[in-house]
Structure 1
Amino acid sequence: MRKRSLLILILLILSLSLAACGQDSDGTEEPASSEKPVTLKFYVSGLTFTDTEFNTMIAEPVKKKFPHITLEKVVTPEGQKIDNLVSAGTVPDIIYASAGSYYNFKRLGILQSLDEYVDKYKLDLNRIKPDILNSIKAYAEDGEIYTIPFNSNETILYYNKDIFDKFGVPYPPDEQITWEEALAIGQQLTQTKDGVNYIGLEVAAGPAYIQSSLALGTLDPKTGKAIVNTPEWEKAFTFLKKTFEVSGYIQGDTYLYNKDAFLKDQILAMRPTYLANMVGPLEELRKQGEIINWDIAPVPNFKEALGTSKEVNIHSLFISKTSEHKDEAFQVLNYILSDEVQRVLSRNGRVPSIVNPELEKEFGADIEALKGKKIENIFKAKSVQLHAPHEFEGDVSKFVTEAAKELALSGIDVNTALRTLEEKINQEVERLEKTTK
């Protein structure tokens, strides 16, 4: 009898010990050790996100937190988009894209509402910066959450110090200036020297950056009618035309300059663009031994909008409706919003999407290319909430680009360009309403 009682006591002690082993030190249950390995396909849609950035900011932290989850970056042939993956039936689990991709993903039938997962995993949406959260919610008519923000992609002014030195022009100031003041500096730098045509200030690869300085939409969010023939749009297009009219700016048929002009050719003195567009590539060049003598200034804006940069640009994470691993995918997204991962983002050159000023103090600490740069200038002009979007806004943006090209190469006046733009947009919306409804 005593032996039996002793055996029962030993078994009881063992069972309590095993139960204790199944908990963390804070009493919460550990993930089950029997979790099956899962590979999540991760696709980058139309944004700059180098392999180094992907591994450092997402793949490695996620693997450490969730050993059973592997993230595999999907690379498609050049020229292919998410539409091609949908057609081929190979939609990835997680899609890294701009928040404005909402409408395209909705049409493709791959948009997954995240509300049930927000509730299930108790994600506190108030951790997200208000301008980002409100901009995300603005896309869905019902206010649902369809995407989780990865980072806030701030806009800054990159400048090549060697080109300024070459022409004896002072560097851009550390306080925000107007677009007109930036253009005046650019005029001094748009020159030919030793057979090289230098460009002082580009208009950031198109008119979208200028219209965003004033948070200008192209369509009325309720009626779908064009709202481009306005004093605000006239101001934006007038400035564009002035940049095109700088002597030496237009070279043949080239009226827009991309990041290669700054990074590769090094003929561009000032480039106002997104942080994420250039920080990663600049670090990659540094690792290859190609050093550019550059720095950062606050992005210019129109006089009435000084203090702000432009509309918030959100790099976001979507879960596809066809994913067979939505729970695991959302756990990844949820973890990316943690202080732990957002700190990794900040230290590697991405502005956090959550409310935590302390993280911004560590911005760029792990990026050699940012050492010695004027990091404080990134935060002197604040982004503003996105204007109320319309479903067809992305579809008609091509006409804005066409109008800018007309301003540059055909010599038409601003009023004519805006009237023509208004007509083309309204015609396209009418067509789209018939074919997509």
Structure 2
Amino acid sequence: MKRLKVSFAIALTLGLAAGCTNEAVPSTKPGGTDEKNSPQAQSPENELFIYTVWPAYYVKEEIFQKQIGDFIKKKFPNVTVKHVHWDNPGRQYKDLIAAGTIPDIIMDDTRMNVQRYIIDNDLHYDISDLIKKYNFDTSKLNPAFMAQMRNLTPEGKIYGLPFYNNDYALFYNKDIFDKFGVEYPKDGMTYDEIYELAKKLTRVEGDITYKGFSQNPGHYLNYNQLSLSPLSRTEDKGDMSDPGWKKLVDNMRRFYDIPANQFDTVETFASKPSIAMAVATVSDHLVKFYEQNKNLNFDIASVPSLSDAPNTKYQPNVYSMYITKQSKKKDLAFQVMAALLSEEHQIELSKEGVIGPLESDAVKAAFGKNLPQMQGKHVESIFYGKNAMPPAARSQGLVWYDVPVQGVFQPLIFKESKDSVTALRMVQEQATKAIETVKAAKSEINQAASTNKQ
């Protein structure tokens, strides 16, 4: 366990967060307290320990049971599921590791957290042999999602399977389009075409400023449609020198240069309905926007694409399932994961507005059937086009760092009016310095560990 504790101390020293505000002590019952903190090896043979970090709403046990737990009970009636979610306080990775209660399955954000929490803490396990053993057909899953799984290592090892993609769509307010006599956006439109619509829809009338378009620039760059990574593939440094980065930044900043269309968070699309179009994540905003304004007259279209990458939406924003190296129940864990990816279960999740990895017409047709806000909406837009492939794997042993690409726009462009090249260079330099700090901390901790062994 020394390697686990040393690796996690690095993340703790640097104050790296898992991307959500919750942390927490593993419990043998959902929401309860584990009095004995019994180690993984002593858990009952029929108990499967599932630890969820993302999706964040699994902090609500009733949602986890509805989407995961109940189905496992149905398909595996002799299996008991112990579920713990990242929550405040005491249920972080470090708490589970320190207590010796290593999960059998971890569900987490692949891009943000797998390298720094699962791999760096030596929890990862190559499931390639299990895929062959149980004849699981990965070709039925979204190819970009599976590429995200394989691109974690240069050897293409598979540490997990995709479960849920929080993909993006273009939400638009039909009332604003009707008010100004502008045609609704259609699937397959480019950013150039959406820009022309945004100019027509941005105006000030009395006390109301109508904004033609809004999008989170950080998300736009993180999951960019050109498959670019802000990290060097071969060196421990940031690298945003590819001309495509400037193309991406210039494409987005022109929208916010439209007079009166200064940046406004997409979160106000429903609560303050003066934004005509907003690119936002589908699954969580279908619920959030509806809760904020049940009378909102909206519909959706596919996300705009770049002119040189037509019909290409964003890279996977995928949450995946991982079997830990320490699990004593790897076969059972894999069979459960495979069942969760069956068409039967994926259809039920799709009805609830979950975008899964299974490439199935029946799954797509079922999307949003249980959501009142999706009745009569253009659901086909959500599945229009293909996801951009994630960046290729980096060389072995390089430090992963979540480059704060949102800093390109905020504050460097929005507040300081930097030109695109300067803003990109500054964020790249910040990333390189941060990586150097990570490496220095690792070196210091490894030296201390070596000294303690002597």
Q: TM-score range by the shorter chain?
A: 0.7 to 0.9
Give the letter for the 1:182 counterpart. Answer: I
For structure 2, list consecutive stretches of 5 or more residues without a partner in the other structure.
1-43, 444-454
Tell me, yes or no, if structure 1 residue 54 matches structure 2 residue 54: no
Change in 2 beyond 3 A, CA 1:158/1:53: farther
Q: Does 1:63 align with 2:73?
A: yes
1:71 positional shift:
3.9
Provide closer, same or farther for how the CA distance between residues 264 and 103 of structure 1 changes in structure 2, counting only shifts above 3 A: same
Aligned-pair identity in percent equals 25
Q: How does 1:243-392 map to 2 (within 5 A)?
A: 243-250=255-262, 255=263, 257-259=265-267, 261-282=268-289, 285=291, 290-323=294-327, 325-390=329-394
SS in 2 for 1:133: helix
Offset, 1:352:
3.5
CA distance in 1: counterparts of 2:80 and 2:295, whole angstroms: 34
Code of the aligned partner of 1:163: I
* Structure 1 gap ranges (5+): 1-34
**Given the superposition, is the C-alpha separation of residues 205 and 423 from structure 1 closer, same or farther in structure 2, using an over 3 Å criterion?**
closer
- Cα deviation for residue 419 of structure 1 reads 2.5
Q: CA deviation at 1:305?
A: 0.9
Contact 1:53 1:280 in 2 (8 A): no
Q: Cα gap change, 1:230/1:266 in structure 2, threshold over 3 Å: closer, same or farther? A: same
Per the normalisation by structure 1, the TM-score is: 0.78
DSSP 3-state at the match of 2:381:
helix
CA contact (8 A) 1:211 1:233 kept: no
Paired residues of 1:210 and 1:236 also in contact (CA < 8 A): no
Does 2:425 align with 1:425?
A: no
Query: Is it true that 1:38 corresponds to 2:47 in the alignment?
Result: yes
Listed one character per residue, the Cα deviations across residues 137-195 of structure 1 (whole Å, up to 9, x for unaligned) are 111233222111113443211112233334443322x2322223223323344444563
Question: 3-state DSSP class of the match of 2:169?
Answer: strand
1:342-374 deviation per Cα after TM superposition (whole angstroms, max 9, x unaligned): 222233323331343343233333332211011
1:404 correspondence with 2:404: no
Look up the SS of the partner of 1:219 in the other structure: coil
- Identify if the C-alpha distance between structure 1 residues 82 and 242 changes in structure 2 by more than 3 Å, giving closer, same or farther: farther
Tell me how far apart the structure 2 counterparts of residues 41 and 133 of structure 1 sit (CA, whole Å): 21
CA distance in structure 2 between the aligned counterparts of 1:228 and 1:373, rounded to whole angstroms: 38
Alignment of 1:141-152 (within 5 A): 141-152=154-165
- 1:158 is paired with a residue whose SS is strand
Give the residue type in structure 2 aligned to 1:127: K
Measured in 2, the distance between the counterparts of 1:46 and 1:84 equals 19
Query: What is the DSSP-based 3-state SS (H/G/I as helix, E as strand, rest coil) of the residue aligned with 2:314?
Result: strand
After TM superposition, give the deviation of residue 235 of structure 1 in Å. Answer: 0.9
Partner residue of 1:111?
Answer: 124
Distance 1:433-1:152 versus aligned 2 partners, 3 A rule: same
> Residue 397 of structure 1: SS of its match in structure 2?
coil
Over residues 364-401 of structure 1, what are the superposed CA-to-partner deviations in whole Å (9 max), with x where a residue is unaligned?
Answer: 33332211011122232211221114477862421x22
* Cα contact 2:153–2:393 (8 A) shared by 1: no
- Aligned-residue offset at 1:120: 4.5
Q: Is the 8 A contact 2:321 2:337 kept in 1?
A: yes
Q: Deviations over 1:187-244 (max 9, x none)?
A: 3444445634443312225254476121111123223444312321111111232233
- Secondary structure of the residue aligned to 1:395 is coil
Compared CA separation, residues 264 and 85, structure 1 to 2 (3 A): farther
1 CA distance for matches of 2:249 and 2:370?
A: 40
Given candidates 222, 234, 243, the residue that maps to 2:246 is 234
Alignment check: 8 A CA contact 2:221 2:248 kept:
no
Describe the shift of the 1:167–1:97 C-alpha distance in structure 2 as closer, same or farther (beyond 3 A). farther
Give the 3 Å change call, closer, same or farther, for CA 141–202 of structure 1 in structure 2: same
- SS, match of residue 139 in structure 1: coil
Inter-partner Cα distance in structure 2 for 1:258 and 1:187: 18
Aligned to 2:20: none
Give the deviation of 1:61 after TM superposition: 1.6
2:183 is aligned with 1:170:
yes
Q: Could you tell me which residue of structure 2 aligns to residue 158 of structure 1? A: 171
Task: Tell me, in whole angstroms, the C-alpha distance in 2 between the residues paired with 1:57 and 1:197.
Answer: 40
Pair 1:76–1:315, CA change in 2 (3 A): closer
**RMSD between aligned alpha carbons?**
3.2
The question of whether the paired residues in 1 share the 8 Å contact of 2:283 and 2:355 is answered with: no
1:18 aligns with none
Paired residue secondary structure (2:338): helix
Distance 1:331 1:222 in 2: 36
TM-score by length of 2: 0.75
Match of 1:32 in 2: none
